[in-house]
Structure 1
């Protein structure tokens, strides 16, 4: 999901600079690095469970979509800058910031298809942009904070590699100085944060909806978690959780049906024509060199020839069927595959397992002794399914997101 959300200038980075950028990022998103980050994910999970407890005590409705965005934002900002936003523990989860991000995604569609618009907006001082687009003020204030944090990292003389952030890696990389200016680093920060928070949070929220809406799937997951980890208070790692076949199937089905990014993934073979053969039909297609081709994850994941009954949430389709993974485009493929795939999977496994180990599905009998969750005024058609493709999926206008009653 990281690297899937475009910034207005990312597409203008020369190819050799792009390789240097990836080389700087990749060590920070390797499996080994994400394993070291997992205590931060676990701490964020504990904060999320605390917020759920508070809602239960106070009789408040839990805005799960907002809470998941706050949680993923806390994780990625801590990793980027060495200091978390702390949104999850704020009363409003800093909703104005996420509203501004949503408005910015509306602009991103135009910047993708009107090449000169992004550079034009970037040439306008941030304070002037805030006057012209007041809805984005919260985002601009956050960008100024990112710039301050990056400049602190730039001026730091620390060599404590255990405390290195992603921006330590970028600033100390082989990228030319022109790609390390405050202006470029602000854009890099926006790309990393937005790709790291909204995408994974969307999949988390929609997975939670399906689990709360389907008691059979919910119960199968509970039984698998209980059998594998009978101690409810044990902190689990993604390495432990990835071994659970049904939880893994749920995660894969969530990524298929509700990818965090829906944008088309353009590719160009600049020097050679691409030749595709279909042996079954004895056909051949030639795509001339220099031709832009693209595909989006939804077009593949909703293909009934690959995924029968594609609109249904069916984790069982992944059980013992590893060949389906080749058709999962949520993180793209190839050299520009999402840099943050390991972080996204770790968050999905740890947070989902943590929430559903603790909470049962409310059975309406009011006799349950354990903490429970139930959907509150949430429908799939209005609040879950994609209504708008603004590079990331958006539900119907006016949706309040996925919400739950906590008891």
Structure 2
């Protein structure tokens, strides 16, 4: 079989290491034994072999901004997903993991309205309420300030927002003394198993179905996560059985339950997978980009002051929380968010797809070679390859918001929210939330230089250790032992 994979296999002529083409253990070594390091190896493989490489026996990885829309079409060609995606997320029946093109369209159409711009406008009161609660806790600190682990703080905020918006209730982490630290440590543990789930799916079934009391004995770090999975299922049942139609309408399940989806699509177990996915996706991803953006601004005082001035001109009252309409068209502020999403996207796993009915033909202009992927072949691209490629970005690892104003066409190589018909359904939600949170913080606080007043001071935070993604577990993970961004907040 090994010989066949590099001689007679339809992908035999795709460049890349022979060992990667022969066995999945090459990928397993980087992902499981080294802990989510394959994205770094893939980046180096592209530097060696060019824009198209074979990264395992059945998957081809691309790095070409001119080919993005072919790989991720908005319409006109059916697009599927490999089964590996559902295994890795631990939610194989969720919308994001749906394999079949038509089934995905039906599932996505049932919730599209919930994430439309008109619907998301209803989100603003929730954002403002939770944001004010978070800032009230910031204000209640000793005179000499208090150090916060911002990733956990922002996770508590983001979780309370997304669960309240989607399910009409939340875990109220903003009221927890430790900002829900025990739960978020548990979700980090769950994400750390993503590659184990993908390559050895039996482990996913065991972890997802083992009783909480038994899980507590063998993997105690997952106990909090397990209890929340029970909450999601209970919440689905409560919404379904509620005699109050308004309670159903105010949740994401209103679209699913009132849709033309068949009964098997509306079971408690199936919708609980969507509930879990939405909860997890709305927590860590938003928190990571918020923390990273705030760090970059505090580390670049000129950018911070430029944004602060722009916001203050649009929203003079520092004690108010700006609406999205107040800030959505501020050019430099939006350039800052775009640049942070380029450097620090909240999701960094490979965007794996299939073209189930049509072959894909790629011409490598650099080496003047043409490659054909048979229908059904797994292919992918990665944010941390394309968005950090020096062919597309000058000083790709540097934080330079001005690039988005000087060259708007940079968006050609921007894939932080994926592309095409399977792009991130919640991207407008995420942008609105991040914009309002950052604008409020920047408006109210300044960089600490020894002065009185509301200030933020970075404490024991190193960019390469605490901010930059050191491993890929679907979401970015900092170096082992890192606390992420730590800030001393003074008022």
TM-score range for the pair, normalised by the shorter chain length: over 0.9
SS of 2:140's equivalent in the other structure is: helix
Instruction: Compare 341-350 and 84-93 and name the one that shifted more.
Output: 84-93
Match in the other structure for 1:179? 265
Match in the other structure for 1:133? 219
Distance of 2:250 and 2:121 partners within structure 1 = 15
Match in the other structure for 1:210? 296
Q: What root-mean-square deviation, in Å, do the aligned CA atoms of Structure 1 and Structure 2 show?
A: 2.2
Are 1:6 and 2:89 counterparts?
yes
Summarize deviations over 1:206-246 as a string: whole Å, max 9, x none: 11111111111111111111122222233322232121001
Are 1:83 and 2:132 counterparts?
no
SS of 1:61's equivalent in the other structure is: strand
Match in the other structure for 2:240? 154
Match in the other structure for 2:71? none
Aligned-residue offset at 1:361: 0.7
Match in the other structure for 1:197? 283
Instruction: Compare 61-70 and 229-238 and name the one that shifted more.
Output: 229-238
How many residues align? The count is: 402
Match in the other structure for 2:344? 258
CA contact (8 A) 1:9 1:119 kept: no
Match in the other structure for 1:26? 112
Cα pair distance change 1:7/1:336, threshold 3 Å: farther
Distance of 1:378 and 1:92 partners within structure 2 = 20
Instruction: Compare 10-19 and 347-356 and name the one that shifted more.
Output: 10-19
Match of 1:48 among 134, 147, 169: 134
1:262-273 aligned at under 5 Å gives the runs: 262-273=348-359
CA contact (8 A) 1:9 1:118 kept: no
Match in the other structure for 2:37? none
Instruction: Compare 228-237 and 274-283 and name the one that shifted more.
Output: 274-283
Summarize deviations over 1:351-391 as a string: whole Å, max 9, x none: 0000000001111xx3x343111101111121111111111
Are 1:144 and 2:144 counterparts?
no
Match in the other structure for 1:317? 403
Summarize deviations over 1:264-287 as a string: whole Å, max 9, x none: 011111111122346787654432
Match of 2:149 among 63, 75, 83: 63
Distance of 1:128 and 1:15 partners within structure 2 = 38
SS of 2:456's equivalent in the other structure is: strand
Distance of 2:209 and 2:232 partners within structure 1 = 19
CA contact (8 A) 1:8 1:108 kept: no
Are 1:17 and 2:106 counterparts?
no
Summarize deviations over 1:46-89 as a string: whole Å, max 9, x none: 12211211235473212211110001000111012101222122
Cα pair distance change 1:178/1:406, threshold 3 Å: same
Query: What is the TM-score with the length of structure 2 in the denominator?
Result: 0.77
Distance of 2:208 and 2:482 partners within structure 1 = 31
Are 1:109 and 2:192 counterparts?
no
Summarize deviations over 1:251-302 as a string: whole Å, max 9, x none: 0011000010110011111111122346787654432222111011110111
CA contact (8 A) 2:91 2:274 kept: no
Aligned-residue offset at 1:167: 2.1
CA contact (8 A) 1:8 1:111 kept: no
Are 1:373 and 2:456 counterparts?
yes
Summarize deviations over 1:110-159 as a string: whole Å, max 9, x none: 11233444345445445433433211111111122222221110001323
Match in the other structure for 1:401? 484
Match in the other structure for 1:388? 471
Q: In structure 1, list runs of 5 or more residues that go unmatched.
A: none
SS of 1:406's equivalent in the other structure is: strand
Distance of 1:48 and 1:322 partners within structure 2 = 34
SS of 1:319's equivalent in the other structure is: helix
Cα pair distance change 1:381/1:30, threshold 3 Å: same
Distance of 1:80 and 1:115 partners within structure 2 = 29
Cα pair distance change 1:29/1:57, threshold 3 Å: farther
Match of 2:204 among 108, 111, 118: 118
SS of 2:396's equivalent in the other structure is: coil
Match in the other structure for 1:286? 372
Summarize deviations over 1:313-340 as a string: whole Å, max 9, x none: 1111111422112211111111110110
CA contact (8 A) 1:56 1:406 kept: no
Distance of 1:163 and 1:126 partners within structure 2 = 32
Distance of 2:481 and 2:153 partners within structure 1 = 18
Cα pair distance change 1:210/1:145, threshold 3 Å: same
Distance of 2:294 and 2:247 partners within structure 1 = 36
Cα pair distance change 1:72/1:182, threshold 3 Å: same
Q: In structure 2, list runs of 5 or more residues that go unmatched.
A: 1-84
Match of 2:183 among 84, 90, 97: 97
Query: What is the TM-score with the length of structure 1 in the denominator?
Result: 0.92
Aligned-residue offset at 1:168: 2.4
Cα pair distance change 1:80/1:131, threshold 3 Å: farther
